[in-house]
Structure 1
Amino acid sequence: MADFETFDLGPLVLQRGLTLPKAHLAYKTYGTLNADKSNVILYPTSYGAHHSDIDWLIGRDGILDPDRWFIVIPNQLGNGLSTSPSNLAEPYGLGRIPVFTNWDNVQAQERLLREVFGVTRLALVYGWSMGGQQALHWGALHPDKVAAICAVCTSARTSPHNRVFLEGIRAVLTSAEGYRDGRFTQRPVAALRAFGRVYAGWAMSQAFYREKLWAGIGFSSLEDYLVRGWEGNFLRRQPEDLISMIDTWIQSDIADNATYQSDLAKALGAITARSIIMPSTTDLYFTVADSEIETAQMPNAELRPIPSIWGHRAGNPIQSAEDQAMLRGAVRDLLGR
């Protein structure tokens, strides 16, 4: 049985101009919505993740406390649960896959909150990686509806170097035997395994591997870590969905809309929410330097780097108590202890 709810979006006009005759958003909630609807935290999903992959940090002693807050995790478009290439009805799918943007995600999420729960203002948007991109989009697109933002290991606009990484892992999948005319005619097992191994080299830092931290989290060897921790992670997903989310990530830009017309400084300056921006000091594609440039242009934001050797995964630290403490402290600072 599914452990999530589904919100019917009906016909959905996408930012890039196509219309889906029928679309839906899969979501899960945690905690209880209070009477004045002032205790809502939105927690969007990251790359390749379903809500069940990221809800480990929700708990009484966790980073997000459901005893006090009503937490909504919307699965992003393209992730396999919400409308995605793997579940699109014809004429889409079968190589004719529309591009989903974070603008599309945020507009769908705004409708979910307003139409299902009657929520028009968020106490916090919390997000890691692609979830953090969505959080910053919320701050720019709906500044009057967001009180606070915690954006972890992410960016307001995908950087050129980050795009190089993304184009590389995209090429791993699209060069697979059986990929033609925008679709896979057979499951690309070898490409998915290679995809996981390439991703492992980017997601974790050099120091993580030098110090053999994989040995302390249940893996018997580096090869065991790569096979179970990375190949296994992406073998769970449909390759068309992985490519769709890469395309969303590549195009992520809070200024790419009619409101800001590609003026990133203007879009960053419009984010009035109290914000803590948290890059990892060893993240190889969302760097502290890039976050510093963006945070300086936000009027109510603090740059708070995570001093960690867990690389990009410092922002999703299920196995690092120290990094969890950093995130928990930031959320408490934003929401009040």
Structure 2
Amino acid sequence: MLQSLITAILLTTSTLVSLSAFGQTEVREPTKFDYFRTMYRKKTQFYFPPENPSTPAKELLGKTLFFDPRLSGTNSMSCSTCHNPALAWSDGLPRAIGFKGKVLDRHTPSLFNVAFSQNLQWDSEFTFLEDQALNPIRKKTEMNQDLKKLPAKLKAIKGYAPLFEAAFPGEEISTINIARALAVFQRTIISGETPWERFLAGDDNAMSFDARMGMVLFHEKARCQSCHMGWTLSDGATYDLGQKSKDRGRGALTKAAWENFKFRNPALLEIATHPPYMHDGSLADLKAVIEFYNRGGDEKRPTKSSDVKELNLSEQEKAQLLAFLNSLSSKQETVEIPSLPE
């Protein structure tokens, strides 16, 4: 498999020239990239719960709520405070800033392609956006809003009445519909067209030579594909990667020792757009991430994933892997911020 993939990368799309052991060249039919294009075929549909189908009115309401700081207890913090579209739907900080400026324990994950996430939050506490949406709003360490008071708070803002009526005709303003609208909007946060996407669509030369070599390393020597698979390049599972950390991750949630230090595997589309990395933001850039995996992590413990082990990548191979990771990101589009109702 590896040799055929490397051969494919070395050749042009019209005539395939491979190097023999004796330095000779032979011409043969082009090798296709069908393996990658099948394995990473782009998703064009995603799941909407039957009780919460998407509508333009729900999307507009959800977007408005997302950017409104009045959803917080102090009227000073919106969802977009941490999930800033100008910072690839994250905040650019190692760890999130919560209520009254408190530095929290974990890094703010990007919302790109959250519609395709099988599990949500670093500890995979939630499965559906409708269930997760209210969590940061109610948490005392984050937006610190009493959910029992939130519907009345929004009802007092006259401009919200027509937005809720359009999204949920004949229904009251409620926490359930607040969550549903936020979920519908967040499902629209989809990554743009990347060099990787153009390659998958059939353009063999959309990525640089180094990026294509990095693609092979990703699947072979670096073993990244063991966990990073599918269109968004994540299997959605939780893993202990061997980081030095006091945060027990999913184990703190489930109280199961075998889940200690395990965190959700992030998607890699748009990965270059939102450093730093890991659940605690401890790795400043993708070079540091590659070095971390190349040395096989930093801690040995029973829960550590068996896939995390020394890779022995050369400097050239690390540079090629980095080129591939950079090819997974697109030019960021400007997001229009909605006018808030009065």
In which range does the TM-score fall when normalised by the shorter chain? under 0.3
Structure 2 length normalisation: TM-score? 0.23
Structure 1 length normalisation: TM-score? 0.24
**More RCO (CA 8 Å, sep 6+):** 2
Determine which structure has the larger helix proportion and give its number.
1
